[in-house]
Amino acid sequence: MKRLGWKLFLGAFALIWLLPLGSLLFKAMGSPGASWAHLESTVLWDYIGNSLILVLGTLLVSGFLGALAAWVTVRYNFPGKKVFVFFQLLPLTVPAFLGAASWRYFLEYTGPLGTFFRSLGFPWFLSPPSGLLMGIILLGIALYPYVFLTLRPVFSHLNPHLLDTARMGGWSRKRIFFLLVLPLVRPALIGGLSLVAMESLNEYGLPSLLGFSTFTTGIFQTWFGLGDLGTALQLAMVLLGVWVVFFILERWGRGQKQFSTGASERLGDKPVKAPRFLTWGIWTLGTLPMVVGFFVPLGQMVHWLFYLRDASFYQLGSHVFTTLGILVIAGGVGIVITILAVFGRLLLRPVWSGPLRYLIPLGYALPGAILALAVMSLGGTWLIGTWGGLALALVMRFAGVGLPVLQSSARQLGKNTLDAAVTMGKSPFSALRKVLLPPWAPALLASICLMAVDILKELPMTMVLRPFNFQTLATRTFELIQNEIPMDSAPSGILLVFLAITFAWLGQTLLERRSRGA
């Protein structure tokens, strides 16, 4: 068989997703599901209703902010644009539980604002934020960078003549954006939004802190509280099923249409100078989410620094080392798999390359702790509690975040280049190594950086799959917040955020260079 090695290789990597998920499905189906009747008559509809509202609300906030920020930064030039673009990534660097916790402490009576106002003689009435609406706002802002990041390069590649034609036809700005631009970028928009939807649906820490239950908190309530893991797994399979159906529908709806506009000119090359009122508008509207999603949480952590106890720097250095170590391993495995998934598509027919590519995003479709169970269900101490096992689990979860970046690079420089190289007598591997990888390198690094931001923040899988004496900045920060001594979490929390900023900045810079070059 032609290219058998590659086929086997791709198939083997697809098993990383297929085996754990399959084994989990098997386990779920084997359970009697004893708690369904009870859940159905009490809390299930509440879970479903809240989850729907949370997801739709978060999509609305993230979609609006992300698309708007991406559009104005492609279309217009305005003072401070570079800083503005970088700022849009900042909310992504604060883990959701940390954002929610710091907001609660920030607004409470003994928080910095309350203390300050009372010292001036004013009363303080605000109570810590809670509830579904607060959840939507905080999550929507924490996640909109995903939409921003996926839309910006696509906007930038649009054909400017399309817009000119529409303008000459008398279309308004709004009409052009909603009826022309958005439909053109549909795949990227859906890609970004589905990341947002999956992450908000799977969020566990934030809803329990803000006091509302969702489908995901329900899964854990059923597992921990009712002690019925079987029903919990069945609930999780429902969640997975929803995503599988969604991906199939989305794929079917898109058909084989290609959304490349193939123009030599790009919208991103010719930004228009923004009128004065627009500059003000952009900065005002763009600053708000940064304040909510980044500056307040960071400020609160800095405020906590003033109330540190002695113990707070406990082994901080080793936590940094561990965090970076697992990043290197997971990043290394992740990059190999991402390359394979993209290269496989160029090299092999979809029947061989498809499985890996379509399985990868499913790692994001389940709550982390359930995914950890899936990995554990493969059993064995060779996997559980090793650096390699944890790295594999992290890759399984986050490869879907980095994949689209490389995919879009391969669309620009891929099939034709490979065919040419192979015709000239190069083996596929040497074509990949010598011809494709060098121009792909920035996109590859960018996709690793995006994964790194997520791996840095990861909690549930790290906690349960970790080796002995293994503490990352995220697990350390979380345990101190969980123990209700948040001030001690400040050193690790701030370090975590700054590491995440470094990777986000690096990723963004590489993405920018890629969309300007080539």
Partner 1 sequence: MKRIVALLFLLSGNLYGNGIAETRVVNVYSHRNYDSDRALYAQFTKLTGIQVNLVEADADKLIERMKAEGIHGPADILITTDVARLERAREAGLLKNIRSTVLENAIPSHLRHPQGAWFGLTKRARVIVYHKTLTTPESLQSYESLALPAFQGKVLMRSSANAYNQSLVASFVAHNGPDKTLVYLKSLVANFARAPQGGDTDNIKAVALGVGTVTWSNTYYLGKLLGSTNPEEVKLAQTVGLIFPDQEGTGTHVNISGAGVSASSSHEKEALAFLEFLVSDEAQRSFALANFEYPVKSGVEMAPVLKAWGTFKEDGLNLAALGTHNAQALRLMNEAGWK
228 touches partner 1 by CB under 8 A: yes
For the four alpha carbons of 156, 161, 162 and 163, in that order, the dihedral sign comes to positive
User: Rounded CA gap, 411 and 306, in Å?
Assistant: 51
Task: Kindly state the smallest distance separating residue 263's Cβ from partner 1, in Å.
Answer: 38
Nearest to 132 by CA among 20, 234, 55, 218: 55
Q: How far apart are the C-alpha atoms of 210 and 101, rounded to whole Å?
A: 9
Question: Euclidean distance between the first and final Cα of the chain, in Å?
Answer: 36
Q: Which stretch binds partner 1 (CB under 8 A): 61-69, 206-214, 280-288, 444-452?
A: 206-214
By CB under 8 A, the residues from 312 to 341 that bind partner 1 are: 314, 325, 328-329, 332-333
Rounded to a whole number of angstroms, the minimum distance from the CB of residue 171 to partner 1 is 47
Q: Residue 154 or residue 461: which is nearer to partner 1 going by CB?
A: 461
Q: Which of 466, 499, 514, 515 binds partner 1 (CB under 8 A)?
A: 466
Stretch binding partner 1 (CB under 8 A), from 102-110, 158-166, 357-365, 397-405: 102-110
- Here's the x/- map for partner 1, 372-411, by CB under 8 A: it reads as xx--xx-xxx--xxxxx-----------------------
Q: Which residues of 112-141 are buried (b: 16+ CB within 10 A; e: fewer)?
A: bbbeeeeeeeeebeeebbeebebbbbbbbb
Residue 131 lies near partner 1 (rule: CB under 8 A): yes
Q: Identify which of residues 330 and 356 has a Cβ nearer to partner 1 in the complex.
A: 330
Q: Does 301 bind partner 1 (CB under 8 A)?
A: no
- Nearest-CA neighbor of 345 among 410, 433, 435, 399? 410
* Local structure of 259: helix, strand or coil: coil
* Least distance between partner 1 and beta carbon 113 (Å): 12
CB of 41 to partner 1, least distance (A): 8
Asked whether position 416 contacts partner 1 by CB under 8 A, the answer is: no
Q: How many Å apart are CA 87 and CA 486, to the nearest integer?
A: 26
- Tell me if residue 113 falls in helix, strand or coil: helix
Q: Please state the closest distance from residue 375 (CB atom) to partner 1, in A.
A: 9
CA proximity to 196, closest of 10, 33, 57 = 57
How far apart CA 200 and CA 414 sit, in angstroms, is: 34
**Please, what is the minimum distance in Å from the beta carbon of residue 105 to partner 1?**
9
Token pair in block for residue 41: 């008559």
Q: Does 512 bind partner 1 (CB under 8 A)?
A: no
What is the enclosing helix (H) or strand (E) of 365? none
Q: Which of 398, 514, 440 is nearest to 157 (CA)?
A: 514
| Residue 463 to residue 460: CA distance in whole angstroms | 5
Interface with partner 1 (CB under 8 A), residue from 26, 280, 307, 429: 307
- Interface residue with partner 1 among 81, 117, 177, 208 (CB under 8 A) is 208
Cross-strand bridge partners of residue 351: none
Smallest distance from partner 1 to CB 468, Å = 4
115: contact with partner 1 by CB under 8 A: yes
Least Å distance, CB 362 to partner 1, is: 21
CA angle, 503 as apex, 460 and 375 as ends, to 5°?
25
Exactly one of 311, 351, 416, 423 binds partner 1 (CB under 8 A); that residue is: 311
| 393/387 Cα distance (integer angstroms) | 10
Cα gap 128→245, rounded to integer Å: 38
From the list 8-16, 55-63, 484-492, 506-514, the region that binds partner 1 by CB under 8 A is 484-492
Alpha helices, H only, 316-361: 316-347, 350-359
Binding window for partner 1 (CB under 8 A); candidates: 258-266, 277-285, 287-295, 479-487: 479-487
Provide, rounded to whole angstroms, the least separation between the CB of residue 225 and partner 1: 4
Region of residue 121 (phi > 0: left; psi between -120 and 50: alpha; otherwise: beta): left
The yes or no reply on residue 250 touching partner 1 (CB under 8 A) is: no
Binding mask 3-42 for partner 1 (x = CB under 8 A): -----------------------------------xx--x
Smallest distance, partner 1 to C-beta of residue 467, A: 6
Q: Which residues bind partner 1 (CB under 8 A)?
A: 38-39, 42-43, 46, 104, 108-110, 114-115, 127-128, 130-131, 208-213, 217, 220-221, 223-229, 307-309, 311, 314, 325, 328-329, 332-333, 369, 372-373, 376-377, 379-381, 384-388, 460, 463-470, 475, 479, 482-485, 487
